Structure 1
């Protein structure tokens, strides 16, 4: 962005795996990896802290390991899994319960639970993955060595346990078959529990309750409903002047299957989750906690006060967390997934490198009137820094202007997809300028609200100027925005070059929407044929197929090839006409305009 520091890239790699059965008690420093907090019951008067033993995990490369039954003819997934887990953890077959399995395209996967006296453990599980040669390629385990196990024969009836669960959780048993299971507690003892499902249709609550089968007390729950509420600027709004809204459950569970506050193991009630962590000053102490349960982040921004007052900090952190997660979700729908080098702590076994959620430092002390995004290689977190803007009094916070956040986050997308996840392939001046242009353009895409494409101005709030921080609005009018490919002859700053590329893409967007219409559900449904859907597919697809350090010319060609790949060239002439209208015709070269289109157009 204008006055923005040049995008930094770095390569940081940190990988650590271990394997062993766990012993407890678990120290306080690991609570975030083993616990969550749930406030339940009528009037939210009961606090529970569900516990899950920390897992260990090993992988075994391309060769894999033999399992104890490997020399037998044929491959029996259940038998192979039971034998390997037993030998690996020194557990006899009587201590293992085969839970489930499936065979994927590349691996055969099985889950085995710990058990005692024929009763399985709810939260002590091992998983084994075999390649198609029948060798073990991955193994994980949360098995434990408990200090004490309760009697496997319940002294509380199922009926009494259901009554306790219904009263404690303010709901009704839903008649899903109850089970009897052991539950590992965080003091390394194991309780026997009746496991029942409780629903409250009026509130939408639906949990799985673990009721002590000897003490008749609810010990833990599994919350099937991922509820979250945020007072934010909806993604289609640009600045706080358009009004904050309280959004309920904006997460897309196709892209974020465990919601925005869990990575499948650790669940939080703060602005931290699998895709992003937003904070002021410190990741460990500076996140914003829910203002109320469950997961309600209702902080009101007061623009008349300094952005550093507590309520404004919380509002800014919440908004940044919401926007980055929203970008994660809709870009995921369009192909920026785990295997395509996206940003997630847990990739759920879908490819790519884990442990790289976006870190969002709000009101970062490193600068003013700026923002930046560092994109290391896949496997290391993208780092967003949002600064205060001191042009006005009181100062203004970039984290409450959505287009600023979208711009920065898009750097992560374009740097990861271009060059195969290295973060090294937008380093020339022109390619870097294109990076700035894509970032402006995706912000433009998010804030178009109808089939009538509007001119787009970037950054008006942070500088308190309706003209924003670019030289011209992005527009289909050559009078409003006269920039063309030839403008690069006199431009040397990446952000200025980016304006040219972003305006070209604004024209492409407008033409596609004019030809195919506009979808209000484009962020969650990429399967339709409206112009804004087609545009974002081509935006994402072209990044992966363009060369390292692209130029405007090769970037143009990548868009046209992306259309050939996905739509069999249906939009070829539309694309050529729009590129040519801004100087990127067939014969364009050396920053000289050309408006020629192919002869068949």
Structure 2
């Protein structure tokens, strides 16, 4: 799916002088001598431990096993935290230990069962000593979590930035005693606190608080005892520094370059961006989600094409002089492309484009789907100019993104620095893998379906470039950076019918997918601002939350791809979005969505009978 004419939004690395070394945190991991991993011998079958029913779900077989062999009772001694099945028929079930109704921070039990319900292996770190009779956490209320947070910050030598009595403690809705601690300047997203037990290295069970604190350059998960001792500490940020135009900045003319140190989240990229889970960490732009490389020489293969090198500190900081031709700063381009595509992987993963849905990863970590399909991202590709494209084979085969140079200016401009273009192209892979299922790459080929494939790319680019200062009166061009200040589409995206007059009937004038896509993306732009006006804006795109308008639409679009049929029409895709909202929010946003569509002629009485697109502006009852 090519990026007709010219379109791209710049993203590049931050100036070397702006980069700062990340705070180093010493990990603390209690040693558990009783931890065990067992492969069950077929000769000593565990059939007596599991009901003789081949149809028993894997999770039920796992629970029966731990109950009959170890005496642990579901809901009393453990809780199921996760379970999923791989394509080889093995179900993986993960338990967390409970003591007096509270979880044990490092009390884990994983059970692997085959498709007949037989346990084939398990790992166990449950506490086996005498269990305390009661929870004697000092104060028994989350307010004391402020002491634990203060102890954690003192341990890593970071000032709270506020006196302890000024910390706002908001008790959680659940009955587990959890709380969120806000008003901490150095933890702008707050600190999550949950009372739990932990096993220390002496084999003792200690009561205290599990804390999670996102400090931007560090993302800490630790355990502080009720006596304010830091018993465990992990940093979820993997060391690296990418000097780039970050997500939210469309291109070099839209904002400043910035040093970014985060490599995904524990959920979206558990080993960071430079580790494929094989025990080897890469110091180049090679990882589990993306391999980005210089492809000026089209004869180069993925194996021998040059990558950007970050060294042992993973510092991807390369100079750029835009007065010179892009070939002089190719390493900066590769680094930018690597950063942006990894960011898109994590954003889309958080909203449902994961392993079982057919995303792009070399290693799926046993979570289902077909692996071995890391994205090949080809910077400054020598195969063409003034374009970009994305190839999406079925799940398990490598997709390919080719980013070209643009000769609309002198010096040329590089599409690798245009986040909008990269987002547009990556979204082709998203919509193709989800529409019709991961194994079918042939469901977006008709004029309407292929057109919407182009439109979803523009729509996601608009969503991801939005910042808090933007509002429904903001107009967005696509590709202005690479196209010498002009949009590559006929109109800017706008809620003004004067600036962008497109309606459903406009499609009668179109005979090319990019034209249809621009009209479809305009419809989604109207829906977008209706949702943002209702729910607000959240710059955190990887939390998986959908309580803000921008993140909600990302989720609804991804869900709609899974719901819609192969080769959907525009009316069917509209209805899939409404159905997605019904499933996700019980239709709480029905009227906002309908009003956005109806404004542009896609109301309940819109028609495509006989191949003619007829505007309809009517709303359903209740709106």
TM-score between the two structures when normalised by the length of structure 2: 0.64
Deviation at 1:515, TM superposition (A): 1.4
Deviating more after overlay: 421-430 vs 281-290:
281-290
2:373 and 2:398 in contact (8 A); partners too:
yes
Q: RMSD over aligned Cα, in angstroms?
A: 3.5
Question: Where does residue 243 of structure 2 map in the other structure?
Answer: 231
2:248 and 2:465 in contact (8 A); partners too:
yes
Distance change (3 Å), C-alpha of 1:346 and 1:581:
same
Pairing of 1:281-300 with structure 2 (within 5 A): 281=295, 282-300=301-319
Question: Where does residue 538 of structure 1 map in the other structure?
Answer: 556
Gaps spanning 5+ residues in structure 2: where? Answer: 7-23, 25-39, 51-60, 66-79, 95-109, 123-155, 157-199, 203-216, 221-233, 296-300
Q: Structure 1: how far apart are the matches of 2:587 and 2:462? A: 25
SS in 1 for 2:577: helix
Q: Structure 2: how far apart are the matches of 1:3 and 1:472? A: 14
Question: Where does residue 459 of structure 1 map in the other structure?
Answer: 479
Question: Where does residue 450 of structure 2 map in the other structure?
Answer: 432
Count of matched residue positions in the alignment of Structure 1 and Structure 2 = 435
> What is the aligned counterpart of 2:260 among 240, 247, 269?
247
Q: Structure 2: how far apart are the matches of 1:519 and 1:110? A: 33
1:260 matched to 2:282: no
Deviation at 1:412, TM superposition (A): 0.3
2:284 and 2:310 in contact (8 A); partners too:
no
2:284 and 2:307 in contact (8 A); partners too:
yes
1:317 and 1:399 in contact (8 A); partners too:
yes
Q: Structure 1: how far apart are the matches of 2:42 and 2:258? A: 55
Distance change (3 Å), C-alpha of 1:407 and 1:109:
closer
Pairing of 1:99-498 with structure 2 (within 5 A): 104=83, 107=90, 129-131=112-114, 133-135=116-118, 226-241=238-253, 242-265=255-278, 266-281=280-295, 282-309=301-328, 312-421=329-438, 422-450=440-468, 452-453=471-472, 454-464=474-484, 466-498=485-517
TM-score between the two structures when normalised by the length of structure 1: 0.67
Deviation at 1:109, TM superposition (A): 5.6
Gaps spanning 5+ residues in structure 1: where? Answer: 6-43, 45-64, 81-100, 112-126, 140-170, 179-202, 207-221
Deviation at 1:316, TM superposition (A): 0.5
Q: Structure 1: how far apart are the matches of 2:560 and 2:113? A: 35
Distance change (3 Å), C-alpha of 1:563 and 1:393:
same
1:2 and 1:469 in contact (8 A); partners too:
no
Distance change (3 Å), C-alpha of 1:287 and 1:273:
farther
Distance change (3 Å), C-alpha of 1:103 and 1:382:
closer
Deviation at 1:363, TM superposition (A): 1.1
Q: Structure 1: how far apart are the matches of 2:584 and 2:508? A: 34
> What is the aligned counterpart of 1:566 among 581, 584, 595?
584
1:372 and 1:385 in contact (8 A); partners too:
yes
2:493 and 2:525 in contact (8 A); partners too:
yes
Q: Structure 2: how far apart are the matches of 1:205 and 1:424? A: 41
SS in 2 for 1:511: helix
Q: Structure 2: how far apart are the matches of 1:137 and 1:177? A: 29
Q: Structure 1: how far apart are the matches of 2:480 and 2:411? A: 16
Deviating more after overlay: 370-379 vs 448-457:
448-457
Deviation at 1:128, TM superposition (A): 8.9
